[in-house]
Structure 1
Amino acid sequence: MTSSIILAVSGAAALLFAFILAKNITSEPSGNERMKEIAGYIEQGAMAFLRREYKYLAIFIVIVSVIIGVFINIPTAVCFIVGAIFSILAGYFGMKVAVKSNVRTAEAARDSQGKALKIAFSGGAVMGMSVVGLGVIGLGILAIIFDLDTSYLTGFGLGASSIALFARVGGGIYTKAADVGADLVGKLEAGIPEDDPRNPAVIADNVGDNVGDVAGMGADLFESYVGSIISAITLGAAAFNDEKGLIFPMLLAAAGVISSIIGAVVVRANKGENPQKALNIGTYISGAVTIICAAVIGYMTFGDFKAFSAIAVGLIVGLLIGKITEIYTSADYKSVKEVARQSETGSATTIISGLAVGMKSTFWPIILIVLGILFSYFVMGGNSNPVSGLYGIALSAVGMLSTTGLVVSVDAYGPIADNAGGIAEMSALPHSVREVTDKLDSVGNTTAAIGKGFAIGSAALTALALFASYAQAVNIKSIDLLSPTTLVGVLVGAMLPFLYGALTMESVGRAAHQMVEEVRRQFKEIPGIMEGKATPEYSTCIDISTGAALKEMVLPGVLAILIPLSVGLLLGAEALGGLIGGAIATGVLVAILMSNSGAAWDNSKKYIESGAHGGRNSEAHKAGIVGDTVGDPFKDTSGPAMNILIKLMTIVSLVFAPVILKYDGLLMKFIK
């Protein structure tokens, strides 16, 4: 009970910190009338999308909660509703402040880079603290109400995962439809710069940065974060006769919240001469504080440093995956420079080299994840007690996500800086302002890639930990790959990330097609746009992205829930285990490939724009734009959605384990 109270109190502290940051941001000046006008368009578009999305999600929440209440139990349904609502609130609070931070960041850039960094990061930190604050306060309060009954708490994770899927996919489709449409017509056909106010899709593009990269990423890591804690306390309850297996991850999560707040304070105190260095220092300090806390709490709980070792290796693996992601996706390293060089010979070689970078980038993250799994399993005594070993893997996931508050803060800072640059461009602010926002944005591109790498690594470990919890729930000790039903499950599971990727890519393609046609129409039918004498119809493009995103997000979301349930009910619990294993294996690889290829294409284009290989308007630049356009849905829609897919299918299986056991293998029973 004490650990639950501490967890809830730490969440309250994070929310209080977020509230203070939000008040400080809104007290800053928001620029001239033109800046306020453009920022108003972005805010109205973003909040309109959220309101319409939440209407869809409200129906989904009601239907699923009734199903859980009827087939599982009422407490799990209540936890599901709380998890869904808290995930929605985290996205709402974070994005509400993000769309107010962008114009204030642009205005602050008139004074200094340090002030602009402080506001942009503070806006991101509101998202980060909302994610961890609502996550742990929800888990803490529900743990108190249900007396640490882990079977009920899984509903909270399912609610978070369900909302995350719709938020990530819907937001990703929105932002990439606008981005691709703006690039193909604005840059390639009309030859106007990015964020040019003459482009009808430019406001929708800036709105998309918020709904996709702020609210979407926040929801993604919210569900990873609570999922890792839930899997750890579930396995902790099975691994130990007393409550110490439950208490430790809860106390560690509380310590991680406080360390994230400390890291955020350090970043905000920086003068801002080197934004990347400021963000790195905050991250390292937050990680160091977490490791120290893990050692102390682990020794006090277990009397040794085994649990601490599992936590530490998870955190280290997360940081290393982030660094490796940076190496493959930053223009400071050879991979991106090689993609830019290949662009000199056209779009085909740009695509080939970018795909090669993504494929090659899967090697080291997988090696690190494998080493983390093996170390965590055996350090917790998995050779003599398999459940304790699985608990070690779950702790590794908790360790990787222990500083989620700061990771999300750093990641959400990027879209705010990007929006600030767009507002500066559209408001015709002095070039010196755009130089500052471009510097912050370039750092934001790197932090976004690192955040995606972190999300992929945490998804793999969290899904494995939830998989282990599922195996415990359905009493599976091992899975027989020679069993035909299990093999069917593995093959279907391995196929799903590819099907899911195809569905989301096609969704972006269809939405982008509508956007391209609309932008072309406005350029053709509204006289004076290219001369800057007429205002484009921004709202029409916003409506296209909104409608397409809400329509296209439904099928992928429903399939992610129905397919695992169908396999479990028709073929049995072991076949479902094979499906989860196959989906995790290919899902992680596809996520790394898509995210890193997309980021490499994006940053190679920016590298060319900086003056390399002929600079802007060169043949290499045109090829780079094509690569970036292909990479947009790769890195911001389909790739990140894989993380949520594998976690959602796993937690759906865990929550509905009692039903799957009751009706185990209906089809196989009929055949026999």
Structure 2
Amino acid sequence: MLSFIFAIVPAASLLALIFAYIFFRQMMKHSEGTDKMKRIAEHVRKGASAYLKQQYKIVLVVFIIITIIFSFLAYYLGVQNKWVPFAFISGGTFSGLAGFFGMKAATFASARVANACRTSLNDGLKLAFRSGAVMGLVVVGLVLLDISIWFLVLNHFIPEMDGGYKLMTISAIMLTFGMGASTQALFARVGGGIYTKAADVGADLVGKVEAGIPEDDPRNPATIADNVGDNVGDVAGMGADLFESFAASILATALLGAAAFMNYEEIQLNAVLAPMIIAAVGTLLSIVGVFMVRTREGATQKELLRALGFGVNVSAMLIVVASFFILRYLNLPNSVGIWGSIVVGLLAGIGIGQSTEYFTASAYKPTQRIAASGQTGPATVIINGLGTGLISAAIPLIIIVVAITLAYSFSTGFDFGMGNLNKGLYGIGIAAVGMLSTLGITLATDAYGPIADNAGGNAEMSGLGPEVRKRTDALDSLGNTTAATGKGFAIGSAALTALALLASYFEEVRMMFVKFLDRPNELINGVPAVDAAFIDFVQHYEIHLMNPTVIVGMFLGVMAVFVFSGITMNAVGRAAQKMVDEVRRQFKTIPGIMEGTAEPDYARCVEISTKGAQKEMLLPSIIALLIPVIVGIVFGVPGIAGLLLGTISSGFALAIFMANAGGAWDNAKKYVEEGNYGGKGSETHKATVIGDTVGDPFKDTSGPSLNILIKLMVMAAVVTVGVAVSYHLI
């Protein structure tokens, strides 16, 4: 039954991994610079590797426990497919590998980028971006490789079934490896976020505000821990995060395609393959875009942004053209309409990115106003940053609303009858695939940020000249914006992906009745389960706003989002407090630090961040996994539906607010450091440093972790759907 066009998927995965390796080898040929630059880079490299090793040990224990539970559900209770435990392990393993390889590239790149900036800004930009592309291409390459392997294996072992249920079963099993990826990603994001922000807050509050020394000054004991944190949080964490977004959007859409065309065997297969092939072609076009990023010496922030945007936009335009011909070749019904849904997804991603850029880049008024407010102290900086963040959530929310409406409408041919519901949901899913189709280059712009940040830190600590530092500062400021844009993009894709996963949840309910619980003839809304449509299950379980169980679930979903955010914020606060105390202690007790004649105890600060992150990351991660299971057991399918709606809607809005507020505070500080409103060391600068410190856990811990929470809770509900169907109390 497999079409030869599927070969594009494994071929694209291998090409992505090959080019990632080529870019890595090219980067390694550059010099790390002076002996001091090499020594600093080695400190960061060892710290990042040591932390990730410890994190993976904890995650391994969690994975073993969850796998045992899944095996019990599959082999003893029979409410889960027997392939699920293996799919879960596979997703987690590949997600961890994506973060690990990306972090390796980043830690080797930072000193080399700093050294390249001794020659020119363009050399530094190209090297940083192509080093970031290693992360982008490794992520998409491993996703496509994992999908290719699973699809081929399951296609071979799953027997033929009537009514299109073979592809439904394959897609449903593959979807569950997304939970392994989500679980790995949440630990990486939360743990890495706590690590990096504990170090960053300690370094800023004691170093900049109290001691009055520059950022990344080698006299600051927390500097190495801060640079390590950039890699474990913003590189390894983001890589694992977008790995599962990319995988989940493809697999949820494949399942919705299998459901939408169940009675048409050839069309059904092509609908399942379409998101995989579009993602594969988008990966190839991302490689093309990477080669188009370059700039001139002395470029402004807008010119640097335009240089990165050019590569991203060229890739996006090419995938628009390519996807049209892919859908025509696959001969899907209403292929032009489905293509319209893909275009909508791409435009939504670009729109959210542009909105984020406007509200967070120092070249625009919102961030400049926050910087100006620093003239009256830190309180007004915080107030203005909160207000900017709240307002900034409006445009992405409107964009997502418009994207959902148009994607649904295009894919149904503007026929809104209930008979077209599955096709409309397929359109929403494929819009998410469209948004993420050029992830290879989009993620490269995001991974570029921490590489540029570490390059600036290396330049400062190594005592390189002001011209070099000016170049690394320009790249770093650009990196703050691209990181904020990347977070907005990740959160936007999470919203569309989560909606596709929510629709997939009801297809999993149908599969549970027909195949796993062996109840195909049980009446669902007056129709045997084997013949029931999506809407029949919705009506059977009374999924509507007058059902108090749905309302209860929605409130619990909102509660989960706020409790999760509060726990992660407090975790950063506790770890940062220990870091502040340690930095103060070293300044007082180690003679010669401020004179530069004695080296601080960097290892002690690294140890504090490591222990704090490992201790604090368990509770929020366990909450995310347990709440959907508990709600399913107590309130059943209606409660889960409400829970997921509440989580998706509130989580998306809160995540955008936190990411943008934090990004704006950060760049307001950078704007002052460029010489505005008194420049470095002024009272305005100290006020914006306070704002940046408040924003650190907003933008790098709680905010980006929320988009994983959204998808992980949906995934946990999907994987444990058999429990909710069979054993609920209400």
Report the TM-score when normalising by structure 2. 0.90
Aligned partner of 2:455 in structure 1 is 420
Q: Is 1:366 equivalent to 2:397 in the alignment?
A: yes
The AA in structure 1 aligned to 2:434 is G
Structure 1 residue corresponding to 2:43, chosen from 25, 35, 41: 41
Q: Is the 8 A contact 2:172 2:508 kept in 1?
A: no
Alpha-carbon distance in 2 for matches of 1:151, 1:454: 26
Alpha-carbon distance in 1 for matches of 2:341, 2:612: 43
Return 270-279 or 297-306, whichever deviates more: 270-279
Structure 2 residue corresponding to 1:284, chosen from 298, 308, 313: 313
Aligned partner of 2:529 in structure 1 is none
Alpha-carbon distance in 2 for matches of 1:341, 1:128: 36
Return 348-357 or 270-279, whichever deviates more: 270-279
Aligned partner of 2:416 in structure 1 is 383
The AA in structure 2 aligned to 1:473 is E
Question: Which secondary structure does the structure 1 equivalent of 2:293 belong to?
Answer: helix
Q: Is the 8 A contact 1:239 1:387 kept in 2?
A: yes
Aligned partner of 1:8 in structure 2 is 10
Alpha-carbon shift at residue 275 of structure 1 (Å)? 3.2
Alpha-carbon shift at residue 120 of structure 1 (Å)? 0.8
Aligned partner of 1:400 in structure 2 is 435
Q: Deviations over 1:144-192 (max 9, x none)?
A: 1001501210221111111000000000000000000000100111010
Q: Is the 8 A contact 2:591 2:598 kept in 1?
A: yes
Note closer, same or farther for the CA distance 1:257–1:272 as it changes in structure 2 (3 Å cut): farther
Q: Deviations over 1:50-109 (max 9, x none)?
A: 100111111112221222222123311111111111001101111111100001111111
Aligned partner of 1:262 in structure 2 is 288
Alpha-carbon distance in 1 for matches of 2:71, 2:714: 19
- Aligned positions of 1:322-471 closer than 5 A: 322-381=353-412, 383-384=416-417, 385-471=420-506
Q: Is 1:53 equivalent to 2:61 in the alignment?
A: no
Aligned partner of 1:115 in structure 2 is 123
Alpha-carbon shift at residue 487 of structure 1 (Å)? 1.2
Alpha-carbon distance in 1 for matches of 2:437, 2:111: 31
Alpha-carbon shift at residue 269 of structure 1 (Å)? 9.5
- Aligned positions of 1:446-525 closer than 5 A: 446-475=481-510, 476-477=537-538, 479-525=543-589
Q: Deviations over 1:235-270 (max 9, x none)?
A: 000001331210111110111110111111222698
Percentage identity across paired residues of the two chains: 51
Aligned partner of 1:97 in structure 2 is 105
Return 470-479 or 395-404, whichever deviates more: 470-479
Q: Is the 8 A contact 2:628 2:713 kept in 1?
A: yes
Alpha-carbon distance in 1 for matches of 2:292, 2:145: 24
Report the TM-score when normalising by structure 1. 0.97
Alpha-carbon shift at residue 646 of structure 1 (Å)? 0.6
The AA in structure 2 aligned to 1:580 is L
- Aligned positions of 1:632-647 closer than 5 A: 632-647=696-711
CA RMSD of aligned residues (A): 1.4
The AA in structure 2 aligned to 1:18 is A
Alpha-carbon distance in 2 for matches of 1:398, 1:36: 41
Alpha-carbon distance in 1 for matches of 2:96, 2:6: 23
Structure 2 unaligned residues grouped into runs of 5+? 74-79, 156-166, 511-536
Question: Which secondary structure does the structure 1 equivalent of 2:640 belong to?
Answer: helix
The AA in structure 1 aligned to 2:605 is C
Aligned partner of 1:561 in structure 2 is 625
Aligned partner of 2:205 in structure 1 is 184
Q: Is the 8 A contact 2:632 2:723 kept in 1?
A: no
Q: Is the 8 A contact 2:556 2:643 kept in 1?
A: yes
Note closer, same or farther for the CA distance 1:56–1:392 as it changes in structure 2 (3 Å cut): same
Return 551-560 or 1-10, whichever deviates more: 1-10
Q: Deviations over 1:527-581 (max 9, x none)?
A: 0000000000000000000111011100111110100110001111111110000
Aligned partner of 1:196 in structure 2 is 217
The AA in structure 2 aligned to 1:162 is T
- Aligned positions of 1:570-581 closer than 5 A: 570-581=634-645
Question: Which secondary structure does the structure 1 equivalent of 2:463 belong to?
Answer: coil
The AA in structure 2 aligned to 1:137 is L
Aligned partner of 1:305 in structure 2 is 336
Alpha-carbon distance in 2 for matches of 1:461, 1:481: 22
Q: Is the 8 A contact 2:378 2:691 kept in 1?
A: yes
Q: Deviations over 1:288-342 (max 9, x none)?
A: 1111111111122226311110001000010011001111111111111111122
The AA in structure 2 aligned to 1:458 is S
The AA in structure 2 aligned to 1:294 is S
Structure number with greater Rg is 2
Q: Deviations over 1:435-485 (max 9, x none)?
A: 111111111111111111101110100001100111222254252222222
The AA in structure 1 aligned to 2:625 is I
Structure 1 residue corresponding to 2:596, chosen from 507, 510, 532: 532
Aligned partner of 1:75 in structure 2 is 83
Alpha-carbon shift at residue 276 of structure 1 (Å)? 2.4
Q: Is the 8 A contact 2:385 2:664 kept in 1?
A: yes
Q: Deviations over 1:395-444 (max 9, x none)?
A: 11000011111111111011111111111111111111111111111111
Aligned partner of 1:27 in structure 2 is 29
The AA in structure 2 aligned to 1:454 is F
Q: Is the 8 A contact 2:505 2:718 kept in 1?
A: yes
The AA in structure 2 aligned to 1:455 is A
Aligned length: 666
Alpha-carbon distance in 1 for matches of 2:28, 2:304: 22
Question: Which secondary structure does the structure 2 equivalent of 1:572 belong to?
Answer: helix
Q: Is 1:229 equivalent to 2:250 in the alignment?
A: yes
Q: Is 1:626 equivalent to 2:690 in the alignment?
A: yes
Alpha-carbon shift at residue 272 of structure 1 (Å)? 9.2
Alpha-carbon shift at residue 501 of structure 1 (Å)? 0.5
Question: Which secondary structure does the structure 2 equivalent of 1:194 belong to?
Answer: coil
Return 295-304 or 231-240, whichever deviates more: 295-304
Q: Is the 8 A contact 2:133 2:290 kept in 1?
A: yes
Aligned partner of 1:168 in structure 2 is 189
Q: Is the 8 A contact 1:76 1:154 kept in 2?
A: no
Question: Which secondary structure does the structure 1 equivalent of 2:387 belong to?
Answer: helix
Q: Is the 8 A contact 2:176 2:718 kept in 1?
A: no
Q: Is 1:607 equivalent to 2:671 in the alignment?
A: yes
Alpha-carbon shift at residue 616 of structure 1 (Å)? 2.0
Alpha-carbon distance in 1 for matches of 2:240, 2:67: 19
Question: Which secondary structure does the structure 2 equivalent of 1:267 belong to?
Answer: coil
Q: Is the 8 A contact 1:165 1:645 kept in 2?
A: yes
Question: Which secondary structure does the structure 1 equivalent of 2:545 belong to?
Answer: coil
Note closer, same or farther for the CA distance 1:633–1:323 as it changes in structure 2 (3 Å cut): same
Alpha-carbon distance in 1 for matches of 2:328, 2:446: 33
Q: Is the 8 A contact 1:76 1:151 kept in 2?
A: no
The AA in structure 2 aligned to 1:524 is K
Q: Is 1:582 equivalent to 2:683 in the alignment?
A: no
Structure 1 runs of 4+ aligned residues shifted over 6 Å read 268-272
